[in-house]
Amino acid sequence: MKWNNLISSLKVQARGGKADPIIADIVYDSRKVTPGCVYVSIPGMVVHGDQFIAQAMEQGAVAVISQNPQLACTVPWIQVENSRIVLGELARKLWNMKLYNTMLVGVTGTNGKTTVAYLYRKLLEELNRNKDVWMFSTVGYSMGKAGQDAHRTTPESSDIFRLIGKADEKPAALVMEVSSHALHLNRVAGFSYDIGVWTNLTQDHLDFHHNMTEYYEAKKKLFTTYLKSKGKAIINIDDEYGRMLSRELEGVKQITFGTSHDATVRIVNWKCDWSGSEIDIITKGEIIHFRSCLVGFFNVYNMAALAAGAIAMSVSPRRVQKALDKLTPVPGRMQQVPVDADFQVVVDYAHTPDALENVLSTTRELTKGRVICVFGCGGDRDKTKRPLMAEAVVAGADEAVITSDNPRIENPMDIIDDILDGVPLDFPHWVIPDRKEGIACAIELARPGDCIVVAGKGHENYQEIYGVRHPFDDKVVIGEIFEGRQETRAHA
């Protein structure tokens, strides 16, 4: 596509250069510029993309887009109001992403996004047999038979459009976790979702959003800015912010879920054990029963979110159950680690106060003995939630091992000191900064009938310490500790 054609629909504040080059790609990272690219300068948190315009031109950029005039550019340039929105819109146009036949599902909320995304993916695979269903989530990006690790929960829309544009077969459906950061920064510009799902909203990311109102307004954009005009909102109205959202979405088709009598899909009964969950819902006067391998009451809500979406898509309960039958446990979400012991070990991604409360309350209900929680908090993130996470552990567990999560560039002991502000002196707890040693301590503490919850990292296979990522997978480490115990016993 030629440059002038590509930018023909934009509101341009200023421009320069008379050439009309053919555009091969559109990128925002100067390191990825190749000959024929448009370089889009994004104002970053630390550095501004304008600093790399000269480098981009040296590497072959044939046009530049910025939020500032670029009079020194030797290639055509335009100035726009918001370069990130333009990035998504132009990438969609360049890669001819009409997406008329692709079902787009966006899932947002503090907790439950990953599991709900997995549920929708399974349902859409059931509905679109022999066709690809793509998913972009915290635990990884799946593009048909191809996959890659997730660098962030929600990738830039331009990167997704490029992947679809180059794919031999376009996806029949696309499911995405849509983070508050992505919505606030317009990383999903160019997308219009058929279905938007609201799971819940509890404290997290206040280092970025400053307060809960800003956090809520960012999440709300999925429904006010990025939902199709005939799109449908699936909302948990047991959640305080979900009820607010439902009231504020005028003219949007809504299907609500929860235990409330006002819910379109009302949860009326449930049963949970270590083998999975069962749920009865009422919708349109009909009671429907579902079962899955997912463990915990919070997964009852996730299953209800799927049932509500199925109603939005006019899918029969039988097809929903077939999808649930094919579901496997979501990586790092209430994932039981097989160990040679008379106690349970569970790994979960819970890294917010509400998530920890949910995981520990579920574990408490399923455990005959004590609940021992191993947890820490991430560095360079919302510090105000650290003592709140400790309070959740004190309320839900019998004992705790406080350790490191991903300290990033913070001193691990500074993080632990913040956590300890929420721990009473008489609560049984151990402070062990080394995460492997902390997990080993919990295993030594465990007695028959107990359950150890290793929280915070879930599916992650690294630990970031002073800016360096080291290989670290909680599940692998647990296995190594048990192997070491068996070797010690064998030589005793």
- Residue 348: pLDDT above 90? yes
Nearest Cα to 41, choosing from 29, 32, 31? 29
Specify the pLDDT at position 168: 83
Amino acid at 61: A
Specify the pLDDT at position 486: 72
Specify the pLDDT at position 435: 97
CA distance 400 to 147: 36
In a 3-state reduction of DSSP, which class is residue 307? helix
Q: Where are the alpha helices (DSSP H) in 367-471?
A: 386-396, 412-420, 435-445
DSSP string computed for 100-168: TTSEEEEEESSSSHHHHHHHHHHHHHHHSTTS-EEEEETTEEEETTEEE--SSSS--HHHHHHHHHH-S
pLDDT digits (tens, 9 = 90+) for 147-165: 777 677 788 899 999 998 8
**Selected residue with higher pLDDT from 484 and 200:** 200
Average the pLDDT over 125-148 and give the result. 86
Specify the pLDDT at position 218: 92
In a 3-state reduction of DSSP, which class is residue 379? coil
For 166, list phi and psi in degrees, rounded to 5: -90, -10
Locus of tokens 């799946």: 142
- Residue 75: pLDDT above 90? yes
Q: Where are the alpha helices (DSSP H) in 167-293?
A: 180-184, 206-209, 212-224, 240-248
Mean pLDDT of the chain: 92
How many CA atoms within 13 Å lie on the side-chain side of 244? Answer: 11
CA distance 28 to 60: 14
pLDDT bucket at 208, cuts 50 / 70 / 90: low
pLDDT digits (tens, 9 = 90+) for 356-400: 998 999 999 999 999 999 999 999 888 999 999 999 999 999 999
Which contacts (CB < 8 Å, 24+ apart) does range 248-251 have?
248/220, 249/223, 249/224
Average the pLDDT over 49-67 and give the result. 96
Amino acid at 22: I
